[in-house]
Structure 1
Amino acid sequence: MQIRYTDILLPSANLGGVNPLPVFRSEKTDLDIPYDETFTPEEAHLLGYSGGTRVLPYLMQDRYDRNRTKQNVRAVVLENDHLKAIILCDYGGRLYSLYDKDREKELLFRNPVIQPANLAIRDAWLSGGVEWNISQLGHTFTTCSPMFCGLVTADNGESFFRIYEFERQKKLFWQVDFHLPDDSRELYVYVRIVNDNPHESPMYWWSTTAVPEDANTRVLLNGSRAMYSNPETGKQTMGNLPYVPAFGPKDYSYTLNMKVSNDFFVQIPDDVKTPWEAAAYENGDVTFEKSTSRLHHRKIFCWGDRPGGWRWKEYLSEEGGGSYIEIQAGIARSQRHGLQMPAGTEWDFTTAFGGLTGDAEKLHDRDWNKACEYLDKELHDRVSPAKLYGLHCKYAAQGKCYPEEIFHLGSGWGTLEAMLRKKKGETLPKGFFFPEEAITDEQKYWLDLIEKGALSDRDPASYYVDEPIRAMLEASPDSFQKFYHLGVIAAEKPDRAAAIGYFKRSVEIKPNIWALRALAVLEANPDKSEEYYDQAFALGITDVAFAQEYLALLVKQKKHEKVREVFQALPEEYQNDERVMINAVSSYLALGDISLCEGGFFDRNFANIREGEVLVSELWYYYVALKAALERSVKVTASFLDWIKKNNTLPKNLDFRMK
């Protein structure tokens, strides 16, 4: 296998920096997910466990744009005589491309652009390739962040490539090792997760593989019982693929038969030792992934065959392109199920990624089960259980080797964790090394506390929610920063009463926009929240995120005159911000004022629309209705607005409707 560190030139949007304001976790740790009588007790176990929103200590990545320019993207290329793999170092170690040299075919959906959009836990997310999601429900914390990338040489002289990081929220260590033996037609990916904490940890892992989609793309796998959302009841239900009565009498193994976006979580039988999933095409080409049993369950994701779904696929890629589905593999029954990883344990698994050309007629047999049985035999011949488990044992033994050369740096948080452990006489798990060169200003902010016992007198640069740091803060001299960070840690327990007390103490020591904003977010009374934001604005805000949040609160409270007043007082740079503008337009239209819409507001290419969000489309319809009403000297009534919606076509750039 050849390994080289290189740049690839891609049209890329600017990722931008991070939002400095922390997003506090949900008060409810678990999700309440309704399900029906089709679930067995085993299938309902841990449904919703630890699925509540949780972001800290990470910050939101919501500063990207849609102004793509050709940029060099750091990558590692792995290559043998049969396959060529490309991994993106700055985007979570995403397997960007897997090219079959024998058949001259790309096996994955290789996105021709780098275009973040608002779909991940931290907002920014890319489509395409294979993404590695760990720890918490959603597209993972590091999906648009740099990873440590290194060359590892095993004791037998074999070399392979590794990405790795320290996951700060649950204090886990994780690695993904890429093995491409010289004669192999499969890329083997070994994943190791280490929980060396003295307590159990909620755990999540899903590998999401994007593959091209066309009218005849068919998904095959070695299981048929699937969990999905019943549109008639709104509850999760179990059924058998490929026919799903709730959606109509069609074979939904052909994903474009699904009109709306949907997830099917396939319950692979417990006795299956090598679960797999594949996308088959009209000509008999197949892209597959097949794993050891720890990575047991599978998911089919499709955007559906409606304008909103097609718009999303193009929005994440380029005009006329980007049609893909995802075949996903996870350690729990669904992404809505959690797992409990015991203290002091390691979990690992190996996945084979590859392609083949099979008998098209058999792959597209009208009997889906026969098609699956045929491909199961083909995959058994290609990657037998004995072969896969033999390689897994080998790769597991090599998994604790240290990287001999680091091509690319990840975050400095693993380095700080190593420093904290050293102070207590503890070490990192075997195989993990975090160099001092990874330290940046985000970590230096905390070095003063760790080394000198006090935070420096400056605005927050990053966050910790760990117990060791809490103890250090408690012992440090009083300052507004000390009590502000203690409040953030309390909010993450979650103990909101204690958090509010800390934030108030921070303001008592020194009025500051950070603690005032935190009080505004945690305050249950919206009028009191407004007062806190007023106080913060009086001190002088330092980031547009304060204005985004404040205007959103005022719009929700229907205080439209105040929105206009606050908006007009903002600096021009803040006024031009997308979220600020959306909130301002909402209030201006509510006041019967279309002036903000007349300068091309709806012509812009919105960057931060959240999956499923329809606010901008609703604003456009109301704008068209209000403009027509003003011309006719009438009011906008519900019936008039309905008439406008039926007789006006929503512009394509605004159509993100999924239903």
Structure 2
Amino acid sequence: MVIVTTIRRDVLTLPAADLGPSNPLPPLLTLDEAHRIDERDREGLPRDMARQIGYEPLHSVLPERIRDGYGRARIPRELDAVVIENDRLRATVLPGLGGRIVSLLHKPTERELLYRNPVVQPACFALNGAWFSGGIEWNIGATGHTTLSCSPLHAARVPAPDGGEMLRLWEWERLRDLPFQVDLWLPDGSDFLYVGVRVRNPHERPAPVYWWSNIAVPEERRVLAPADEAWHFGYERRLRRIPVPSYDDADRTYPLNSHFPADFFYEVPDGQRRWIAAVDEAGDALVQTSTDLLRGRKLFVWGSGPGGRRWQEWLTEPGTGGYCEIQAGLARTQLEHVRLEAESEFSWLEAYGPLTVGAEAAHGEDWAAARAEAESRLEDVLPRRDVDAAYAAWLPHADTDPGEVLAVGSGWGALEVLRSAHKLPGTPFEESTLGEAQAPWLELLRTGAFPEPRRVGPPGETLVAPHWRDMLETAPAVPLAEYHLGVAQWHAGDSAQAVRSWERALELAPSLWPLLRCLAVADAQAGNRERAADRYVEAFDDLCRERRDSGEVWTAATTALGREAVEALLAVRRTRQARSVWERLGSGTRARGRFRLIEAQLLLAEGDVSAARAVFDEGFEVADLREGAEVMSQVWARLTDDPLPARYEFRMRPPTD
């Protein structure tokens, strides 16, 4: 009996950590991004790659906020899910967590095709912090994991090309100010999940676009792709062209044959079918293929070294299997951004499904034969022409208005549509989605004035796009408008004007600490670390006087500002003042792993090495440890010559002199 394809709501219960509040301080500086290359490697790159690597790299994550309020205490939580199912496949999607496909089950074989993480544990891998591993994620914005990793998307039913239904996910991506959509459907009887993607630029100027679909699969696989060369990128930030499959005396198509975490961006020749597959020892595989616009293919490995293994444990439950990622993107590498012309769009189709290949050929020493075996079997079960035909059939449906709403995302898209009157068929951003965060900006749009807050509290998010900056510049110069204008000017690269806006606001502002903190960041960036420290002390004192309660919002502000103040004071060796700030933090804040590490650094600065060592010996976990960060090993090396304990071993590259 053929089961008609269905889409239904469901609830997935998983052990999950609370995401907590976002950091209320505007991210004037980007998080330390590991995906940059040594300037020496730019010479000799293909011309288009070099151009795209230099094309509008990200300098901050404004207007987003940093999400660092999570911990590592996991309890069972009910997560809203949408299930798409036919008689062959069942896909489980979490619209509230970036539209992640957390499971793709092949029903005839009862085989999970993805790496399915048994927990949801945020870690600091997204451009704005919180991210979790597993499944298939949709990365849009800029080099790195999307800021939407742990954010809700809009979701609804839409008619599919075959007359059934598909699930549409859509949102307004704020880093590049672009709307996008992801349409998922399962034709009846199909072994492949089809995914239609569209990124639109409704503006009158070109925009840089970044897209990578990341697919987590168990790491005990061989990864096959149609390439004889790859661009290798490790956390030592070097990009080099290497042969595939073997490099430096090891077959790197097996993830555990690398010692350190690394990216392998495959050089897929023009005209070659785009695909990538992860094959187990029996010849069973997950394969991803697409229309030709989605050019890039990549393998990410954690490697077999202690740092990679520790990260694997960190992202899931101890004792569960590890994973690697096979990926597909718009460019050769994730270091690049692609130009999307004004009032135009990118669209393509992807397909995900099971593949059975001859194990002897797939795992043999003859790389050409292994590739040919996988590509031949793929052509048998899903011909290239069928993918192109499915794309052509889907594209007219991309504009179809959604039906039943299954989940609601943010109100930022609705605000942009109201401002610009953009016509975006297929992805409605309804006024009903506007909320408290958008309210002051809606008033600025309608009245030309930015409202002063009705109650005392940390300032809300700042919109930094040129059109909003223009509105702020012509708005009455009340303190809060000047604060937001300064943030927007800083984002635009006009740091001198930003400082003037913040200084003007200080004269009349009832709340000084947000402005003083911005000025402290500006001082530090200008090399005036002593004045930055002074302003951090003033800002923290003012916040402590103004703070109204011990609720989540005020605690998040005190935690964030206190951390920055202590670090700024330690940088200029003002340990007594750093200790004063530390002691005014709440006991719950001081007990967090991040602040236990800061405590060890403070004790070291005070000359108490044994007490600092005791902090490490007692044990702590820095929940928001950044991808590629080496602070744990650096502090440990100042304490002792003993080997770094395994629990603190997160290094992702070889030691440097």
Taking structure 1 as the reference length, the TM-score comes to 0.91
Matched, 1:164 2:179: no
Matched, 1:135 2:135: no
Contact between 2:632 and 2:648, CA under 8 Å: does it hold in 1?
A: yes
Deviation at 1:53, TM superposition (A): 3.4
Deviates more, 1:44-53 or 1:139-148: 44-53
Counterpart position of 1:557: 572
Closer, same or farther: CA 605–446 of 1 in aligned 2, 3 Å: same
CA distance in 2, matches of 1:290, 1:230: 26
Counterpart position of 1:293: 292
Deviation at 1:163, TM superposition (A): 0.5
Deviation at 1:556, TM superposition (A): 2.5
Counterpart position of 2:550: none
Detail structure 1 runs of 4+ shifted over 6 Å in the superposition: 26-32
Letter in 1 for 2:625: I
Counterpart position of 1:412: 411
Counterpart position of 1:609: 625
Contact between 2:91 and 2:101, CA under 8 Å: does it hold in 1?
A: yes
Contact between 1:25 and 1:492, CA under 8 Å: does it hold in 2?
A: no
Counterpart position of 2:114: 108
CA distance in 1, matches of 2:366, 2:412: 52
Deviation at 1:444, TM superposition (A): 1.8
Question: Counterpart of 2:251 in 1: which secondary structure?
Answer: coil
Contact between 2:102 and 2:116, CA under 8 Å: does it hold in 1?
A: yes
Deviation at 1:565, TM superposition (A): 2.7
CA distance in 1, matches of 2:27, 2:38: 21
Question: Counterpart of 1:489 in 2: which secondary structure?
Answer: helix
Question: Counterpart of 1:110 in 2: which secondary structure?
Answer: coil
Counterpart position of 2:225: 221
CA distance in 2, matches of 1:135, 1:598: 42
CA distance in 2, matches of 1:156, 1:117: 40
Letter in 1 for 2:629: E
Matched, 1:569 2:584: yes
Matched, 1:87 2:93: yes
Question: Counterpart of 1:442 in 2: which secondary structure?
Answer: coil
CA distance in 2, matches of 1:597, 1:158: 63
Deviation at 1:440, TM superposition (A): 2.3
CA distance in 2, matches of 1:178, 1:125: 22
Letter in 1 for 2:106: D
Question: Counterpart of 2:538 in 1: which secondary structure?
Answer: helix
Matched, 1:342 2:341: yes
Where in structure 2 are the equivalents of 1:150-549 lying within 5 Å?
150-154=156-160, 157-214=163-220, 217-229=221-233, 235-244=238-247, 248-272=248-272, 274-421=273-420, 426-458=421-453, 459-510=458-509, 512-523=512-523, 524=526, 525-541=528-544, 542=554, 543=557, 544-549=559-564
Deviation at 1:122, TM superposition (A): 0.6
CA distance in 1, matches of 2:393, 2:202: 23
CA distance in 2, matches of 1:123, 1:481: 26
Identity %: 36
Counterpart position of 1:18: 22
CA distance in 2, matches of 1:111, 1:615: 27
Contact between 1:289 and 1:353, CA under 8 Å: does it hold in 2?
A: yes
Q: Name stretches of at least 5 consecutive residues in structure 1 with no aligned partner.
A: 626-640
Q: Deviations over 1:118-149 (max 9, x none)?
A: 11101111110011011211100101100001
Deviation at 1:234, TM superposition (A): 6.1
Letter in 1 for 2:250: K
Closer, same or farther: CA 492–107 of 1 in aligned 2, 3 Å: same
Letter in 1 for 2:262: N
Where in structure 2 are the equivalents of 1:54-65 lying within 5 Å?
54-65=60-71
Question: Counterpart of 2:170 in 1: which secondary structure?
Answer: strand
Question: Counterpart of 2:353 in 1: which secondary structure?
Answer: strand
Deviation at 1:380, TM superposition (A): 1.2
Q: Deviations over 1:288-321 (max 9, x none)?
A: 1001011011111000101111110111011011
Letter in 2 for 1:503: W
Deviation at 1:113, TM superposition (A): 0.3
Deviation at 1:507, TM superposition (A): 1.0
CA distance in 1, matches of 2:605, 2:242: 45
Contact between 1:280 and 1:287, CA under 8 Å: does it hold in 2?
A: yes
Q: Name stretches of at least 5 consecutive residues in structure 2 with no aligned partner.
A: 545-553
Contact between 1:10 and 1:73, CA under 8 Å: does it hold in 2?
A: yes
Deviation at 1:605, TM superposition (A): 3.0
Counterpart position of 1:45: 51
Contact between 1:10 and 1:70, CA under 8 Å: does it hold in 2?
A: yes
Deviates more, 1:442-451 or 1:167-176: 442-451
Deviation at 1:25, TM superposition (A): 5.0
Deviation at 1:405, TM superposition (A): 1.2
CA distance in 2, matches of 1:230, 1:80: 40
Q: Deviations over 1:159-218 (max 9, x none)?
A: 11010001123221100000101110000000000001100011111111100112xx11
Superposition RMSD in Å: 2.2
Deviates more, 1:26-35 or 1:401-410: 26-35
Letter in 1 for 2:390: L
Contact between 1:190 and 1:395, CA under 8 Å: does it hold in 2?
A: yes
Contact between 1:287 and 1:355, CA under 8 Å: does it hold in 2?
A: yes
CA distance in 2, matches of 1:43, 1:57: 28
Q: Deviations over 1:343-367 (max 9, x none)?
A: 1111101111011222111111111
Deviation at 1:153, TM superposition (A): 1.9
Closer, same or farther: CA 28–180 of 1 in aligned 2, 3 Å: closer
Question: Counterpart of 1:150 in 2: which secondary structure?
Answer: strand
Contact between 2:593 and 2:621, CA under 8 Å: does it hold in 1?
A: no
CA distance in 2, matches of 1:428, 1:175: 15
Question: Counterpart of 2:470 in 1: which secondary structure?
Answer: helix
Question: Counterpart of 1:46 in 2: which secondary structure?
Answer: helix
Question: Counterpart of 2:27 in 1: which secondary structure?
Answer: coil
Question: Counterpart of 1:164 in 2: which secondary structure?
Answer: strand
CA distance in 2, matches of 1:621, 1:53: 31
Aligned residues: 626
Deviates more, 1:198-207 or 1:522-531: 522-531
Closer, same or farther: CA 167–518 of 1 in aligned 2, 3 Å: same
Contact between 2:157 and 2:405, CA under 8 Å: does it hold in 1?
A: yes
CA distance in 2, matches of 1:507, 1:498: 14
Where in structure 2 are the equivalents of 1:581-592 lying within 5 Å?
581-592=596-607
